[in-house]
Amino acid sequence: METMKILFFGDITGRPGRSAVKSYLASLTERPDFVIANIENASHGFGLTKKNYEDLNSSGIDCFTSGNHIWDKKDIYDYIESAENLLRPINYPKGTHGRGSQIFEVRNHKIGVINALGRVFMPPIDSPWETVSSEIENLKSNGAESIFIDFHAEATAEKICFAKYLSAKYNTEGNALIKGFFGTHTHVQTADETIINGMAYITDAGFCGALNSVIGMEFSTSLKRLSTSLPERYEIAQDGDAQINGAEVLIDRTGAARITRINVKVSNNESEKEVNIDSGA
């Protein structure tokens, strides 16, 4: 296998995030080999409608991961079983709708993707340690040659510890099965991208959405809720500029060769159909 380029996008949040990611992908002069995006916040910040799934599915994204908000739009139950590219966290109880992993064939190379939820400061869920380890063995037995994991979790320590545990257990020098581990959920990109024993790692990939916002939401509604502790409906910020957070990973058969953070600003002028992409948002 020659070098392959993998793109991972942090939580796509609302219409600004959807538009920005689609514009970004359309602007690339060279298409990546495989694109993963977390979309649990894609529909007005909470959940994913079938319409938005189908729209994003035609934009060049190959695999969709999610998190605890994937159930927020009730029509998810109507289509999640047939949405082949959509994953929900694997460590929900047995019998939960949808799937938590999938194998994709890319240039005669089998890529496995696993989506999991953390447990620290999160709703009760089955152990990711046991569930993910079991699923890695399952993917291996079904021919997966490279595995990527979206760990949707709150606590940085849990993400770091889990990543190091899996890397030590499944990767050896010159032979890394797990080639990428991406933390999601906090919407704040961390600056700790690194290679751990052949595995590309970042504690949180960040989010894709309105730049002038509070993790994608309007400042005014966030301020009311956080300063008064009273219930307040969050609203998606509609600022014209958006930020795109994620990571670009180069892999070969031996492991990840490089990980580079994606942190760009997208200005989308709908009236003129212009897309301007600047580095260093």
Question: What's the distance, Cα to Cα, between the start and end of the chain in Å?
Answer: 34
Based on the residue annotation, tell me whether 69 is a catalytic residue of this protein.
yes
Find the Cα–Cα–Cα–Cα dihedral 4, 101, 244, 12, rounded to 10°. 160
Q: What's the mean pLDDT when you consider all of the chain?
A: 93
- Measure the CA dihedral 247/252/256/261, to 10°: -20
Least confident of 81-85, 91-95, 205-209, 273-277: 273-277
Residue 281 has pLDDT above 60, yes or no: no
Provide the pLDDT for residue 268: 63
Listed range (196-200, 234-238, 254-258, 267-271) with the worst mean pLDDT: 267-271
- Domain 4-212+238-279 matching CATH 3.60.21.10: the answer reads yes
Residue 235 has pLDDT above 60, yes or no: yes
Q: Does 271 score more than 70 pLDDT?
A: no
Summarised one tens digit per residue, pLDDT across range 138-179 is 999 999 999 999 999 999 999 999 999 999 999 998 999 999
Span 252-266, mean pLDDT? 96
Q: Give the bridge partners for 184, in sequence order.
A: 152
User: Any bridge partners for residue 274, and if so which?
Assistant: 269
Higher pLDDT among residues 106 and 1, named by residue: 106
Q: In this predicted structure, what is the pLDDT of residue 233?
A: 86
Q: Is the pTM of this model over 0.75?
A: yes
Report pLDDT for 275: 38
Can you give the pLDDT at residue 238? Answer: 84
Instruction: Print burial letters for 117-154: b (CB count within 10 Å at least 16), e (below 16).
Output: bbbeebeebbebeebbeebbeebeeeebbbbbbbbbbb
Burial class of residue 218, CB neighbours in 10 A (0-12, 13-18, 19+): buried
What is the structure's pLDDT at 109?
96
Q: Given this model, what pLDDT does residue 277 score?
A: 41
For the cut 90, the answer to whether the pLDDT of residue 69 exceeds it is yes
Please, what's the b/e burial string for 62-81 (b: 16 or more CB within 10 A of its CB; e: otherwise)? Answer: bbbbbbbbbbbbeebeebbe
Q: Which residue is it, tokens 């689609």?
A: 22
The residue type found at 280 is: G
Q: Quick one: pLDDT at residue 47? A: 97
Candidate list 44, 69, 97, 109, residue with the active-site label = 69
pLDDT tens-place string over residues 182-205: 999 999 999 999 999 999 999 999
Average pLDDT for 33-46: 97
* CA dihedral over 256, 249, 260, 199, signed as positive or negative: negative
Q: Is the pLDDT of residue 134 over 80?
A: yes
pLDDT of residue 279: 40
What's the CA gap between 57 and 27, in Å, rounded? 17
